[in-house]
Structure 1
Amino acid sequence: MDAIPLALDGYLAADPEPGDREGTVSWRLTCSAGTDHLVEEAVMPCTTMEPEIAHAMLTERQPGDLLRVIGHLTLPDTADGVIRLHAESLEVLWEAPVLDAGDEAGDTATATDADADRNSAIAALAEALTGLGEAAPGPGQSIRIHISPTGTLGAGLEHCHSFDVTPAMAHRLADYIDAMSCYLDSERPDGAALDPQTIADLTELFEDIDLIDLTNTVLNATRPENRPAVTRAMDDMFGDVPAPEDTDP
């Protein structure tokens, strides 16, 4: 059966193993996003005869690394055969951080609670981003978003996800994040309070504003066809204001 050209992104599931022949290596790739040939959360056996890739896989890569493997997919001739991706080039999209032995020690209960909280947050974010991906159109330019826990991911690959969104959707997502950041930055920290003099200055400033005079000035500077919309906007800001016909021409 002819080999199928394929580029596949996924997380290294376990330590790579040397092959039966010198200069070869095998590994398993956990794919969290669907492709034309695979369903989500598939585990793809990979192998290579390229010396540079074999050396990199055995000496540099670790479980949890996000890899892009490009090569040819071979399908078995029999039902009990093994599907395998023969890698011809390899790209590292993200490296899982290496944890020191001291980092792994500590309060087990606290670590477990922290992991559960982190994983539930990842699940919520993944669900939201999945909705964005489903709303995106089919073929065309897209942007891939990867989310995963930090640390070595040998036992946590089920919490790794990839999503494709359109540039337009990415712009919308960036706008939402900017708006959220502005909102959070505008919140006053707990325990902080304005000093009395500042409160007095602000009170005096707003007490000196004549809303009727302000309304007349704004509406007189507004084109007649735009006055109803401006009036509604000022109503939303200050409450009821005089209608355009009640102001000086």
Structure 2
Amino acid sequence: MERIPFALTGYLGTAAAPGDTVGTASWRLISSPADCTAEEEAVIPCTTSVPDLAHTLLTECQPGDLLRVTGHLTLPGSADGGFRLDADTVEVLWGVPLSGPPQDDAPADDHSARNRAILALAEALTGFAYERTPGEQPDIRIIIGPVGINELDVAHCHSIDVTTARTHQLADAVDAMRATLDSQPPPLADGLDPQTLADLTDLFEGLDLTELTQAVLDATRPEDRLAVTRALDDMFGDIPVAGIEDTDQ
């Protein structure tokens, strides 16, 4: 079987498993270039016989970590044979935040809006990154992914390589966007301020409907008092008013 020097960047698809002998480990690496679709992603089987490296993969790395693997690609000797990447070094370029295991009885969270936002941003940055002067080579990598991801969320992680010049342009655009947002009035809150609500409650609880009704009637012309009294009764109920007979209320 032919062994070819090879380097590959990708996400750890599943947790590494111990190999057949002590000091070895095996895992799957998902290669997902920035300009490829989910159907074009490649799953590369990897192994290592370097004890320290195997220990790191088994105890410190978790699904979703972005790894840079260098070693030798072993090609099959026949068409129906398998290939693998025998790793000599592994560099963790980005590690997912540690999170506890999901609870079996916990309700499933709907992350569809989050995933659509990640995809939209990744597509925008990918298009932005590939609009560059011929001959320029990317030298900065932007990693986008959900917080607290697990092996089920690897498909929503993206890496975009950009040039230094493009990165400066992106930073300027973000600064301009922030300045525009800061110049706009703050959005209205969904609810009243708790203190305002408490003040309004105290105000209405302190109202005397009888006194309020009498004040309204005192300011009403005599010929309109009966109609106004009936309107107040419809609003607040039957409120006794001095100077008005029950038959007139």
Instruction: Please classify the TM superposition score into its range, dividing by the shorter chain length.
Output: 0.5 to 0.7
Q: Distance in 1 between matches of 2:127 and 2:73?
A: 30
Is 1:144 matched up with 2:141? yes
Q: Residue 85 of structure 1 aligns to which amino acid in structure 2?
A: L
Instruction: Name stretches of at least 5 consecutive residues in structure 2 with no aligned partner.
Output: 190-249
Distance 2:4 2:101 in 1: 42
Q: Structure 1 51/76 Cα, relative in aligned 2: closer, same or farther at 3 Å?
A: same
* In structure 2, distance between residues paired with 1:185 and 1:103: 41
Cα distance per residue 1:70-124 (max 9 Å; x no partner): 111122121122221111111111111122358887543xx21xx1110000110
Which structure 1 segments of 5+ residues have no match?
193-249
**Whole-angstrom CA distance in 1 between matches of 2:34 and 2:21:** 32
Q: Report how many aligned residue pairs link the two structures.
A: 185
When residues 162 and 102 of structure 1 are mapped into structure 2, their CA distance, relative to the original with a 3 A threshold, is closer
- After superposition, give the CA deviation of every residue in 1:138-164 in whole Å (9 maximum; x if it has no partner): 663521111111113211111111111
Counterpart-to-counterpart distance in 2, 1:13 and 1:155: 9
The separation in 2 between residues aligned to 1:106 and 1:138, in whole angstroms, is 51
2-structure distance, mates of 1:75, 1:157: 26
Q: Do the aligned residues in 1 keep the contact of 2:25 with 2:49 (CA within 8 Å)?
A: yes
Q: Which residue of 1 aligns with 2:234?
A: none
Give me the TM-score of the superposition, normalised by structure 1: 0.67
Is 1:118 the equivalent of 2:118?
A: no
Q: Cα distance 1:96–1:75, how it changes in 2: closer, same or farther (>3 A)?
A: same
User: Structure 1 residues 100 and 41, CA, compared in 2 at 3 Å: closer, same or farther?
Assistant: same
Percent identity for Structure 1 against Structure 2: 52
What secondary structure sits across from 1:156 in the alignment?
A: helix
What code does the residue aligned with 1:116 have? Answer: S
Counterpart among 149, 172, 176 of residue 173 in structure 2: 176
Deviations 1:155-208 (A, max 9, x none): 11111111111111111111111111111111111359xxxxxxxxxxxxxxxx
Deviation (angstroms), 1:47: 0.5
The answer (yes or no) to whether the contact 2:72–2:86 under 8 Å persists in 1 is: yes
Query: In the alignment, is the contact (CA less than 8 A) between 2:12 and 2:62 conserved in 1?
Result: yes
> What value does the CA root-mean-square deviation take over the aligned residues?
2.5
In the alignment, is the contact (CA less than 8 A) between 1:33 and 1:40 conserved in 2? Answer: no
- Distance in 1, matches of 2:103 and 2:186, equals 32
Q: TM-score, normalised by structure 2?
A: 0.67
Q: Is the 8 A contact 1:130 1:163 kept in 2?
A: yes
CA contact (8 A) 2:11 2:63 kept: yes
Aligned residue in 1 for 2:11: 11
1:42 and 2:39 matched: no
Name which of structure 1's ranges 93-102 and 123-132 shifts more when overlaid on structure 2: 93-102
| Matched position secondary structure for 2:80 | coil
Task: Specify the structure having the higher radius of gyration (Cα).
Answer: 2
Aligned to 2:239: none
Q: Is 2:138–2:161's contact at 8 Å kept on the other side of the alignment?
A: no
